[in-house]
Structure 1
Amino acid sequence: MNFYFEASEVLNRLDAKEGSIKGILATLPENNRARTTALVIETLKYKSVLSDVIQASKLLTEEKKKITSFNLALVLVHDTLLVNGIQAGDGPIKQAILRHKTRLRSELQRIKIKRGVKSNLELAQTSDDRAAKIPRYVRVNTSMWSTEEAMQFYTKRGFQLQGPFASSKGFEIDEHIPDLLAFNPALQFRDDPSYKTGKIILQDKASCFSAFVLSPPCNDPNAVVIDATAAPGNKTSHLSALMGNKGKLYAFERDKRRFSTLKMMLSKAACRNVEAVNADFLTIDPSHPKYSLATHILLDPSCSGSGIVNRLDYLLEDEVEVVDEDRLNKLAAFQLMIIKHAMKFPRVQRIVYSTCSIHASENEHVVSRALQSDEAKSGSFKLAPRNDVLPKWNRRGQAEGMIGTGDADSLVRCSPGEDGTNGFFVSCFVREPNFVLPQAEPSKKRKADTEEAALEKRKKKPKKKVKTE
């Protein structure tokens, strides 16, 4: 029965708008995540019908002492009516549902007759039409195998290089992001052995832009890179792979639950060069001996998520979304703060700021204000030219949102339903070429060791013999 309590708690959190379906499901324990995810998603598909059935049967009224949560009733009634029954022992809660089984079935049948449908499947809520235009993207985790090996693996299983929409077994190599494969949108990879072992990462194409544009040093043992807001870890694992698992990648996540998810993800993806840090990036001192050496910083902070058109969030769209200007302004203030903080790191050369938002207030306006900040001016930051930021990608930034501070052509936008991705925004700040990097100061220990070695050398140095007449 704990499984049902866990699923109902996810529904409670969704009702409280604590995050997206995908985000909340990512915080579940790995060992039970797939089962709980399936129940939550299927329950949401039939939520409208199940709610009517529960209300008509007066289940909660007659069993209020046993079933105190509406969402618990939803998941239990779902399994009672639409699958093979409640998967739990005969406890008082299960018995409370079974006492009303006949009535529940009668109410479901009455709804089917009223709506003129013959099967339960016809009662399910259909998906967002835009999601059907987005391929199922699979990023090959090159920390574990090559793209060539991955392609051989899938072709041996009957997949063909003919495009993701040509057939259910069609796929192709993405033209913009290396090591990214596009499959048919209807495909599921949760049970794929490559997914279970971390050899592939399910990640939207637009989400891959951030790490790719940051372009961290590859196979450099001295490289230092920061992922400022790392959980759940898709972009972090991408950065690690791009770095060839060399150097040091610091991944910050302040939330303890999400930090736990991040560590599991990094372990599964075999990210050996990552040090996960359970801390708020904004509290990190830019002059810290370890972190001050960072030359590349990835910023993908909290945003409205208005660009996400995945195969789950449509299940929560009960009404037309109203843009909350106050919330957008608060998010924009936080986003600007994190960019300005990143610009304070003394050796940083490249900063990527991205969001999964379609609003200029979180995108062009934030970038424009960042360019006008004291941090940008003192650090000699500007926007990287288009040639350094996915030059072949056609959809660029909105010029009217830049307020004369930078070239909108340097920015990247993705439009949901039109570009084969979710909605996304990417910008890249770089130092001016004439900026002089501060020399890294040796640590106290290294300095002391150096001084001691010099003293020993002086002691051992033979004295010159003075010639005598």
Structure 2
Amino acid sequence: MTPAARLAAAIEVLADIGARRRPAPDALKDWGLSHRFAGSGDRAAIAGLVYDTLRRRASAAFMMDDDSPRGVALGMLVRERHLDPEAIARLFDGSRYAPPALTDTERSKLASTDLGSAPPHVLGDYPEWLDPHLAKVFGDERAEEGAALASRAPLDLRVNTLKGERDEAQAELADLKPEPTRWSPQGLRIVLAADAKSPAVHAEPAYLKGLVEVQDEGSQLAALLAAAKPGEQVLDLCAGGGGKTLALAAAMENKGQLYATDDDKRRLAPIHERLTRAGARGVQVRTPKSIGSEIDDLKGRLDLVLIDAPCTGIGAWRRNPDAKWRVRPGALEVRVKEQAGVLDRAATLVKPGGRIAYITCSVLDEENGAQVRGFVERHSGFTIAPPAEVMTGALGERAYLFRRAVLTSAEGLLMTPRRTDTDGFFVSILRRAA
């Protein structure tokens, strides 16, 4: 397919997403099934155009004064792909399989890209209802933080230290040109061009033998900040597919006892194969029969409970840009209730002197600092570990610069794409009195 034909296809997919209010992956899959002539490179390019348009939907629509699929696609080519009007006109030339030629109005809008009068939610490309929530956390910098959350994420890998070292993994993956991550001592980063097809990491020998796992650097750091130690009794309470369980197992060096569970047993399905591939031992996966019953025997016994809490997922918008346009205020209310319940449950499991690592991939205070404040009010036996102390203990010589990058509060620390070039993650360590 020509670049112009790919653009026409992307506009068609965007129209389907809007008309049927469906997730982008579903619309892209259906388009591919009904256009089997399109090769894998074509499908990847079309998906890239669709996701880039969703990333910049608000600012593109404002710039073009047009929120139609065509309008936002045109604006995206300026906002995200940085094309000039003449380059765009060559794509929108009305030839066979190409989008219809540009109108005079569209040409005029493309030539005038000033967003100076745009409100913060447009500059930051996020839903307007979230503006007061983001202002509470970031103040006048919320547009810049939102814009960074709209950027394309790199592909990050965590090196599994149970199987090898970072230099070894970097050498094995040399064809993908990975570079060491800035903060995580176990991370490798593969930067992808806007129109690049994601590499087949899952087919690489380094992945197949368990030397690397796909995991954002921020997620790696969150697990490191939990500071699981060899010989401890540790629970990953919201384990899901096991990403942080694997990181905890590596930190514990297969010494001690690690438990993993999740209220939704379907989320646990991938964890068994992943543990085997990683060479993780001493891990018990507790599949729930009824909420709480699978870990009743662990009450008051654990050194560490890690909570990768259910949340709105705002911190992961770089990887799932259509999610931000589907999230609603009601979802925040639901997540806040769930988080409080999980925290209260964890409090019963930690032994005296033990700790809870509370983690979200959200940047909202309602899900982060407010949750921690509410928890310590309900549970007087717990205190908040000073964030500076947590970072120094986990990151060593990297801690000084990391402390300057993150946003810290009395309750914990917040990573964001703008500040740390990671997904957005909040981390708080809560200690139970001995």
TM bucket (normalised to shorter chain) is 0.5 to 0.7
One-letter amino acid of the structure 2 residue matched with residue 178 of structure 1: P
Q: 1:271 aligns with which of 269, 280, 298?
A: 280
Q: Which has the larger radius of gyration?
A: 1
1:352 corresponds to: 357
Quick check: 1:210–1:298 contact (8 Å CA) kept in 2?
no
What is the aligned partner in structure 1 of residue 307 from structure 2? Answer: 299
Unaligned runs of at least 5 residues, structure 1:
1-42, 54-68, 86-106, 117-127, 160-168, 400-406, 436-469
Q: Within 2, Cα distance between the matches of 1:216 and 1:147?
A: 20
Q: How does 1:74-153 map onto structure 2 within 5 Å? A: 74-82=31-39, 109-114=96-101, 134-153=153-172
Preserved CA contact (<8 Å) 1:253 1:280: no
Alignment of 1:146-165 (within 5 A): 146-154=165-173, 157=174
Distance (whole Å) between structure 1 residues aligned to residue 159 and residue 40 of structure 2: 35
- d(CA) in 2 for partners of 1:129 and 1:46? 27
Q: Is the 8 A contact 1:211 1:235 kept in 2?
A: yes
Query: Per the alignment, do residues 83 and 138 of structure 1 end up closer, same or farther by CA in structure 2, a change over 3 Å counting?
Result: closer
Q: What's 2:317 paired with? A: 309
Q: How many Å apart are 1:266 and its aligned residue?
A: 1.7
Shift of 1:110: 4.2
Alignment partners' CA distance in 1, 2:303 and 2:154? 34
Alpha-carbon distance in structure 2 between the residues aligned to 1:173 and 1:276: 30
- Asked if structure 2 preserves the Cα contact closer than 8 Å seen for 1:293 and 1:347, the reply is yes
Looking at secondary structure, tell me which structure has more helix per residue. Answer: 2
1:361-376 equivalences under 5 Å are 361-373=366-378, 376=379
Other-structure match for 1:198: 210
Q: Deviations over 1:42-73 (max 9, x none)?
A: x99945325779xxxxxxxxxxxxxxx98875
1:271 to partner: Cα distance: 1.4
Aligned counterpart, 1:226: 235
Distance in 2 of aligned mates of 1:307 and 1:240: 25
> Which residue, out of 380, 384, 394, partners 2:404?
394
Query: What does the per-residue CA deviation read over 1:166-205, in whole Å, with 9 as the maximum and x for residues that have no partner?
Result: xxx3612533x22222332446333322123221011111
Counterpart check, 1:245 vs 2:254: yes
**Equivalent residue for 1:453?**
none
Residue number among 211, 216, 222 corresponding to 1:210 in the alignment: 222
Offset of 1:383 from its aligned partner? 0.6
How far, CA to CA, are the matches of 1:339 and 1:172 in structure 2? 34
* CA RMSD across the alignment: 3.6
> Partners of 1:174 and 1:281 in 2: how far apart?
42
Q: 1:109 to 1:269 in 2, by over 3 A?
A: farther
| Structure 2: tracts of 5 or more residues without a match | 1-5, 17-25, 43-93, 104-146, 393-398
Q: How does the TM-score come out when normalised to structure 2?
A: 0.63
The TM-score with structure 1 as length reference comes to 0.58
Q: Taking structure 1 as reference, are residues 140 and 325 closer, same or farther at Cα in structure 2, changes over 3 Å only?
A: same
Give the aligned length: 312
Tell me, yes or no, if the aligned pair for 1:224 and 1:248 is still in contact at 8 Å: yes
- Give the residue type in structure 1 aligned to 2:404: N
- The one-letter code matched in structure 1 to 2:356 is I
Q: Do the aligned partners of 1:210 and 1:426 also contact (CA within 8 Å) in 2?
A: yes
Q: Is the 8 A contact 1:213 1:388 kept in 2?
A: no
Cα distance change of structure 1 residues 193 and 129 upon mapping to structure 2, 3 Å threshold: farther
Deviations 1:140-165 (A, max 9, x none): 011111224224434xx368xxxxxx
Q: 1:345 to 1:108 in 2, by over 3 A?
A: farther
Cα offset, 1:418, TM superposition: 3.8
